[in-house]
Structure 1
Amino acid sequence: MTSAGDTRRAMLRKALLGAGAAVAYAGGMLPDIAVAAGIGTAARADRPDIVIFIADDLSWTDIAPNGSKDARTPHLDRLASDGTRFTRAFAASPTCTPSRSALLTGDYPMHNGAHSNHSSIFDNIGTLPAYLKAQGYRVVVAGKTDFGPPRDFPFEYLAGSTFHPDKKKAALLSRLHLEAVETLFATRDPEVPLALFVASYQPHVPWAKEPSYDPATLTLPANFVDTPEMRAAFAAYLTDVSDLDREVGVVRRSIATNGKADDTLFVFTVDHGAQLPFAKWTLNDPGIHVPFIAAWPGRVSAGRTTDAMISLTDLLPTVLDAAGAPSPQGIDGKSFLPVLTGDRDSFRDVVFASHTGDKNFNRSPMRAIRTDRWKLIVNLNASQMYVNAMTNNGRDERGFWSSWVERAKTDARAAELVRRYQHRPPVELYDLEADPYEAHNLADDPAYAAIRKTLSDRIDEWRIAQGEKLTDVPMPDDAHYGTHFYSEWR
């Protein structure tokens, strides 16, 4: 199906591509869209190194700098002490490919085409690696590559940075090997600025088989059903969070030993929330509220916390701004570099997020608008029971989830949590100050009708601007599918 957004994007590409031809860069040709967007070859001489570390499936609450009572994350603690920590950073989607594609294009998923998991962006859309290549950067990716097509993401793939014992299940079983990253820093040409994207597989499932946390001592989120299976799963998840923290430490040590420690912009963030209830695959805050910490000696304030609201679509223009390059016109993101440098205390008044699903399951498209206090979620296929890989598509055979379902047979609170998770109304409205776990839907309360209308109008405007028709229900089949990632990148 060709959507209005597809047509709009094609028209924009045609107009932009008429503006100039491609220019050469080391290792290939810069996509035409980068040239047309005004991201030309040349740059100031004092460009910083850039390291962007992207974790996989981690909710904002589950690291020590953000207040976790249990997670042991000393390297992230140190990073927060060395840089600025954001309390309101949000993913564009609670699913891997849409979120990563939004981060790397500066466009929300419906705008760039990759709105379903394992889909691809529209052809010839500008991407952060292409723009940085145009500025003379050596642009390298280590680890997970959950985006495509490869020609529009002109990374140098760091050989040896990924290991998977079973190639048929590479997406789930891969692990990050950091020896290749250490070698990169030890052997790189210091005269060529480096942009390194470290994409960890942690703490994506499968989680650790031998947890290093005691399940009995953990503090479970208030909207969890407290079962032995749930505690065991949470302990395994936190074990992988600690392993992720170790990876951050290795990369930062490599920078300190062989990199440009005094002139490296280091960003730590996450694609979206954990594979836990009310998190990944949902637009509840645990699904889209992500950790974000940035450090840059002499430029970013150390030990600072900011409540400025940002979207991960804003990372692309911010990184280009830090590199002294202009941002492409017409993208959804905008630079928050003034927030990083301490020149601004606020940024966005709202962020948006969307979820379409996975091609053959999780077919529950939803859209959300979030302010600092309010959240409105629109469920476009509310008549269908919400299922996903965690619930095993309704068969209730997945570890801790089956323990929720079993407990719900005799426990009213558990039954209510299971019901809320799998049966979602057309519209949800939450007061996040009074109800941080989004348990009390105010959408049908007349006292909040004005707030609902204001947010509904605004999300409708955004959906139309993204190329959606309000009468349509975009499904995974409607996303753009082209050449993708795993087999192509290795």
Structure 2
Amino acid sequence: MKLNLTLLLLLICPVLWSQPKLQISESDKKPNILIIMADDCTYSDLPLYGGTNVQTPQIDKLASQGMTFNRAFVTMSMCVPCRAELYTGLQPATSGVCWNHSIARSGTTSIVQYLGDMGYRVGIAGKVHAAPREVYPFEMVDGVERNCVSKTAGYDAAGLRDFITKNRKQPFCLVTALVVPHIPWTVGDPSHFDPEKLNLPEYVADTKEMRNEFTKYLAEIEVLDRQIGTTLDLLKEEGIEDNTIVIFTSEQGSQIPGCKWTNWNNGVHTGLIVRWPGKVKSGTRTDALVQYNDVLPTLLDALDNKTSAGFDGSSFLPVLLGEKNTHREFAYFMHNNVPEGPPYPIRSITDGKYHYIKNLAHENLYIEKHLMARMTENQYWPSWIFEASGDQKILDLVTRYQKRPSEELYDMTSDPNEMNNLLNREGFTAIQNRLSKKMDEWMTKQGDPGAAIDSFEELNNARKGNHFEN
């Protein structure tokens, strides 16, 4: 009996030894995640959203491979609050990041912990702009310029490659936070654009200086597009393209009057593309209303993590999978002007078509110090002021920016640049009242005291960890 068993093993073992080792294919692993962020890129300047002044072949290619969101928004159109929202799934009053250059409440949980607990390596290359470290313990990845006001936009794909290839057995999440086209507009080649032939947006004053500065901004969008293409090429070169969820976002609007630091559409509206091969249908667009605080819950849902965490956002995975074509009923917005200027608090709401804005201290003069005071970094605002004395259209634009009514209402579908205030016009009162009521309910739910928090005292308290109670 023992002899027969020995013979049997001798016959079987060579067969076993000759079999290839069992390997986990890329398709069987948890998907990697790559989040690519622009820095201060107005969504409507991209060809994907109707822009006509610059070409972005890499962004367009990514869109052809995934889903483009027509109605995606940040809650606050400034760098620190919107990134906190993306990384935590929380709106500003919940995380405590209600001002630029502020910090999250101690104990807040971010994408680093959520994905880290699922076995992911979570790294960030480029601009961080998120604090404190205990909330955002990213692995620091080399290869991308971190200083958003640097006069260069250094990019070396080798650092990114090192991170994504460091451990093939472990999935990764990499945030690639590029610093273009944030001011100063000093990289790229503005000579690619003829200032006289630009199609300036209607909310921009048509001055010689504005046209010249706009070419510099467009040159940085070209650099952005190239860096995106190089980053995406890494996935293909390393054979992981088909098992990586890619998210591209343009962040908030540019530092041009009417965009960043406002609640107007060109400030809070963000370009958003999601590519997930085999899951998200290529070349699709959706009108589903989403916000930054929905992104983290969506990623966790895609990874089958049914966390009960108290996000302000919710998963739009059914939209990505083509099972639904709607998500939110409303998107909400906040602006606190401190420390970028004197207090000028704003709150607003949209249902995807109509946008209601309430300027809580409309009697104040709106001032944004970076855009209006640093004359060495831009020459366009002084040209607006100089030309306003002899050009009524430019004077109207300056007045629109600095002296706003108590309330505003816009049809974002027919008037995406929000130049025609519909407030109190016949036929719009019911819409105005409905949105105003819903916005007040949101503020109450968030524990948002409104104008009271737009102060240097509240910001300084938050920086010390003494956030207001919501």
TM-score normalised by L of structure 2: 0.88
Q: Find the partner of 1:346 among 326, 337, 340.
A: 326
Q: Find the partner of 2:262 among 245, 257, 282.
A: 282
Q: Tell me the amino acid that sits aligned with residue 240 of structure 1.
A: E
Instruction: Classify 1:53/1:121 alpha carbon distance in 2 versus 1 (closer, same or farther; 3 Å).
Output: same
Q: Find the partner of 2:139 among 142, 156, 165.
A: 156
Say yes or no: does 1:142 pair with 2:125.
yes
Secondary structure of 1:444's aligned partner:
coil
In structure 1, C-alpha distance between the alignment counterparts of 2:52 and 2:378, rounded to whole Å: 27
Q: Which residue of 1 aligns with 2:52?
A: 69
Q: Which residue of 2 aligns with 1:30?
A: none
- For 1:438-453, what aligned pairs fall within 5 Å after superposition? 438-445=418-425, 447-453=427-433
In structure 1, C-alpha distance between the alignment counterparts of 2:160 and 2:102, rounded to whole Å: 32
Q: CA deviation at 1:450?
A: 1.9
In structure 2, C-alpha distance between the alignment counterparts of 1:46 and 1:319, rounded to whole Å: 15
Unpaired runs of 5+ in structure 2? Answer: 1-26, 466-470
Say yes or no: does 1:384 pair with 2:364.
yes
Secondary structure of 1:377's aligned partner:
strand
Q: CA deviation at 1:364?
A: 1.3
In structure 1, C-alpha distance between the alignment counterparts of 2:308 and 2:464, rounded to whole Å: 24
Q: CA deviation at 1:355?
A: 1.1
Instruction: Classify 1:394/1:146 alpha carbon distance in 2 versus 1 (closer, same or farther; 3 Å).
Output: closer
Query: Conserved in 2, the CA contact under 8 Å of 1:336 and 1:347?
Result: yes
Q: CA deviation at 1:443?
A: 2.4
Instruction: Classify 1:61/1:471 alpha carbon distance in 2 versus 1 (closer, same or farther; 3 Å).
Output: closer
Q: Tell me the amino acid that sits aligned with residue 66 of structure 1.
A: Y
Q: CA deviation at 1:398?
A: 4.4
| 1:268-301 CA-partner distances (Å, limit 9, x unpaired) | 0032111111100001110011100111110111
- For 1:106-255, what aligned pairs fall within 5 Å after superposition? 106-162=89-145, 171-173=149-151, 175-184=153-162, 187-208=165-186, 210-211=189-190, 212-255=192-235
Query: Conserved in 2, the CA contact under 8 Å of 1:142 and 1:158?
Result: yes
Instruction: Classify 1:476/1:49 alpha carbon distance in 2 versus 1 (closer, same or farther; 3 Å).
Output: farther
Instruction: Classify 1:306/1:360 alpha carbon distance in 2 versus 1 (closer, same or farther; 3 Å).
Output: closer
Unpaired runs of 5+ in structure 1? Answer: 1-43, 165-169, 484-490
Q: CA deviation at 1:159?
A: 3.2
In structure 2, C-alpha distance between the alignment counterparts of 1:360 and 1:91, rounded to whole Å: 18
Secondary structure of 1:290's aligned partner:
strand
In structure 1, C-alpha distance between the alignment counterparts of 2:268 and 2:128, rounded to whole Å: 20
Q: CA deviation at 1:396?
A: 11
Say yes or no: does 1:60 pair with 2:39.
no
Q: CA deviation at 1:124?
A: 0.7
In structure 1, C-alpha distance between the alignment counterparts of 2:423 and 2:339, rounded to whole Å: 30
Instruction: Classify 1:321/1:417 alpha carbon distance in 2 versus 1 (closer, same or farther; 3 Å).
Output: same
Query: Conserved in 1, the CA contact under 8 Å of 2:54 and 2:218?
Result: yes
Query: Conserved in 2, the CA contact under 8 Å of 1:359 and 1:477?
Result: no
Q: CA deviation at 1:435?
A: 2.8
In structure 2, C-alpha distance between the alignment counterparts of 1:364 and 1:348, rounded to whole Å: 28
Query: Conserved in 2, the CA contact under 8 Å of 1:396 and 1:405?
Result: no
Secondary structure of 1:332's aligned partner:
coil
Q: Find the partner of 1:94 among 53, 57, 77.
A: 77
Q: CA deviation at 1:186?
A: 6.4
Larger Rg: 2
In structure 2, C-alpha distance between the alignment counterparts of 1:287 and 1:191, rounded to whole Å: 40
Q: CA deviation at 1:197?
A: 0.4
Aligned-pair identity in percent equals 35
Q: CA deviation at 1:51?
A: 0.3
Q: How many residues align?
A: 435
Q: CA deviation at 1:449?
A: 2.3
Instruction: Classify 1:111/1:174 alpha carbon distance in 2 versus 1 (closer, same or farther; 3 Å).
Output: farther
In structure 1, C-alpha distance between the alignment counterparts of 2:150 and 2:437, rounded to whole Å: 39
In structure 2, C-alpha distance between the alignment counterparts of 1:478 and 1:231, rounded to whole Å: 39
Instruction: Classify 1:186/1:195 alpha carbon distance in 2 versus 1 (closer, same or farther; 3 Å).
Output: closer
Say yes or no: does 1:404 pair with 2:384.
yes
